[in-house]
Amino acid sequence: MNKAKRIEIFSRLREDNPHPTTELNFSSPFELLIAVILSAQATDKGVNKATKKLFPMANTPEAIYALGEDGLKQYIKTIGLYNTKGKNIIKTCKMLIDLHHSQVPDNRRDLEALPGVGRKTANVVLNTAFGQPTMAVDTHIFRVSNRTKIAHGKDVVEVEKRLLRLIPNEFIMDAHHWLILLGRYICTARKPKCGACLIEDLCEFTKKSDQ
């Protein structure tokens, strides 16, 4: 795929959704961090239901740490892997209190040192909370990138690096959200809704399917 086609793809996505953001509900970098940790192998809708009850009661490292694992789990038990996530969140809160003055770090090294925070989670926080040009490649972005040929790769890190290199700078801040939404609602795994897609005529998958 050439540069002109990528520019046209992201121009259309921007025109359709000029100010995209995460579908997770949050009002601070800390709330976003907790929501993203909870969202692993879970839906944003399910996480929002849990945090709607949790955050009014506890939305700081000190407040969630004070709940303890058992107290926290009462709020997140509807979410998959809640036992592991509960343990990690309590440990993360303790580290934020002890090492970062209860503030969420704005750099990858410190974020990835927190329990339950991997590369994807760190990228979401850096992009959405701190406005850094990162690319959090989840299953949706991985699928869309390979299927459309915007940036193909064998694993998520390879796709991430190619996207950062190939997406024009003017689109890089919001590209993460556009691609996730495209994969979540249009370019779905089993049966993509090609006829409803804004970039159908530019997609390499569509062309291959027509042959």
Euclidean distance between the first and the last CA atom of the chain, given in angstroms as a whole number: 18
Nearest in space to 122 (alpha carbons), one of 135, 101, 140, 95: 135
Which runs of consecutive H residues, i.e. helices, occur in the chain? 3-16, 29-39, 44-57, 61-76, 82-99, 108-112, 119-128, 139-148, 156-166, 172-185, 204-210
Other beta carbons within 10 Å of 205 = 18
Q: Is 120 a known active-site residue? A: yes
Side-chain-side CA neighbours of 123 within 13 Å: the count stands at: 20
Backbone phi, psi, residue 193, to 5°: -90, 65
Q: Is 201 a known active-site residue? A: no
CA distances from 1 to 15, 148, 151, 171, 198 (A): 21, 9, 8, 17, 17
* Candidates 138, 149, 155, 174; catalytic one: 138
CA distances from 77 to 25, 58, 138 (A): 18, 16, 23
* Candidates 110, 120, 149, 191; catalytic one: 120
Side-chain-side CA neighbours of 52 within 13 Å: the count stands at: 8
Question: Which residues are the active-site residues?
Answer: 120, 138
